[in-house]
Amino acid sequence: MMRFRPRGHDADEPAAPNTVIGVGSTLRGTLMVSGTLRIDGEFEGDILNCDRLEVGEHGIMRADVEVKEAIVKGRVHGNIRALATIEMKTGARIEGDVAAVSVAMEPGVFFSGRCTMLDTGFESVELGAAHERQAGR
C-alpha cells in the first residue's frame, strides 16, 4: 500500500499575500500592511510596515516605499527601497529610483531611474568599522 505525505510549503515559496488590491480597484491613501501586499489594481499614496510588495502585471503603483523585498510585473511611479531584493519581471515599467541589496532585471523591463546597491550583513559592518579606524575616526 502506498502512502502519500502532504506536501508542505517550500522554504523558497513566498507566503500568499494577506492584502490584495484587485484588478479594477483604485485606492488612494495610506496603507499599513503587515506581511505581503499585492497590487493588481491602482494604488496611490503611502505604504507603511510592508514586508513584501508584489505589483502584478495589471498593477499600477504611485508611491515611494521601503520594504524587505519587492517583485514588480506592472507599473511603478516612485522609488522602491528594499532591504533584501527587488525583482523586475518582463513587462514591468519602473519610473523612479531603486535601492536594494540585490536587484534582478529580466529582459523586456523598462526602467528609468537610478539603481543603488545597498551594503548589509556582517561583512559590510566589519569593513565599515575597519575603514573608520584607518581614517582615524
HSE value, Cβ hemisphere, 13 Å, CA-based, for 13: 5
Model pLDDT, residue 131:
46
Phi, psi of 61 (to 5 degrees): -125, 130
Q: What is the distance between the terminal CA atoms of the chain, rounded to a whole angstrom?
A: 71
**Domain ranges, ordered by start, for the chain:** 19-134
d(CA 34, CA 66): 13
pLDDT (tens digit, 9 = 90+) per residue, 88-101?
A: 999 999 999 999 99
Residue 10 has pLDDT above 80, yes or no: no
Cell numbers given for 99: 535601492
Helical (H) or strand (E) element with 56: none
Could you write out the DSSP letters of every residue in 108-122? Answer: T-EEES-EEEPP-SH
Residue 124 above 90 pLDDT?
A: no
